[in-house]
Amino acid sequence: MRVLVARQDNLGDVLLAGPAVRAVAGRADEVVLLCGPRGRAAADLLPGVDRVIEWRAPWIDPDRVPVERASIDGLVQDLRGFDRALILTSFHQSPLPLALLLRLAGTPWIGGISEDYPGSLLDLRHRPDTDVPEPLRMLALAEDAGFPSPADTRLRVRDPLPDTGHLTGGPGYVVVHPGTSVPARAWPPGHCAKAVRLLAEAGHRVAVTGHRDEKELTAHVAGEDGLDLGGRTTLPELASVLAGARAVVAGNTGPAHLAAAVGTPVVSLFAPTVPAARWAPFGVPLALLGDQRAPCRDSRARECPVDGHPCLASVGAEEVAAAVEVVAKAPPAAEGVPAR
């Protein structure tokens, strides 16, 4: 049985699909993951994935993507030969455009989560409970499609990860990741820098991580007290750095989910533009900080709609430093039991 699993958006979203992918892999002969370019690096890290198809979906990618016949025709050719397909989506996305292309490719059975009437595009129209953590929401679709859950439903990445001791000086440090892909989800840089100083004063080694486009930010946040790793890691190397940490401080962004996937506790600076019940780091000890009842709640805003960014600016560096001490000492979650 050849099964296509689709998750076409960002790095963190692809990581959250991991338990559902492993469920499918438990019964399928081959699992192919369809993802977009923003999630490709994460797709390569997921256990259970045999092959990856990368395609940028105009109905998913936040940038303006041209709809071109040649690109669509090429994808339809790549989608031929699958026995089943599961389309994993967020609550505000539709599986139906991809389902139509899968029908054109001859896929005989397709499952997805759809609030909209799917006509004959879906064989399984799954209707999940509201505010379920995103990994469990996708896993429920896989179960409804006949793929039992794995014994351990936590996030995972492939082993082995590269050795990054030459970057970090060995395990036992705290990671601060100040960047986010969406500005409305970012903790103010000055707060991040102060947290690095406080953690260093408390005796912690602190590593500051970030994308190569965030080098100016990571240099500012690291200052003289932290180790600036901005732009110095691939995604597998970042996973290794996070795995060696006692705790990770991050906003609602892909590396927070990557930290959860390697089992590291997270202090989450979480803007309530999307529900924390669905999108907070899953399956690890967690401190959830930020005003979850702020006026931006459930707005899905990319830019903060409230002057002063109060949902996160109100969180002090002292509160974050104290939360690090708590989560770093928390016991790990048991297999199959998500920590919240």
Per-residue model confidence as pLDDT tens digits over 132-164: 999 999 999 999 999 999 999 999 999 999 999
Take residue 119 and report the two structure tokens written for it.
């006509």
pLDDT at 331: 86
pLDDT at 339: 45
pTM of the entire structure? 0.95
Q: Of 272, 100, 264, which Cα lies nearest the Cα of 176?
A: 264
Give pLDDT < 50 ranges for the chain.
336-340
pLDDT at 37: 96
Which segments of the chain does DSSP mark as H helices, in order? 11-16, 18-25, 40-43, 69-78, 96-104, 134-144, 165-168, 189-201, 215-222, 235-243, 254-261, 276-279, 310-313, 317-328
Task: Determine the Cα–Cα distance for residues 190 and 337; give it in Å rounded to an integer.
Answer: 36
3-state per-residue secondary structure call for 25-60: HCCCCEEEEEECCCCHHHHCCCCCCCEEEECCCCCC
pLDDT at 36: 97
Q: Are the beta carbons of 141 and 129 closer than 8 angstroms?
A: no
Per-residue model confidence as pLDDT tens digits over 45-85: 999 999 999 999 999 998 889 999 999 999 999 999 999 99
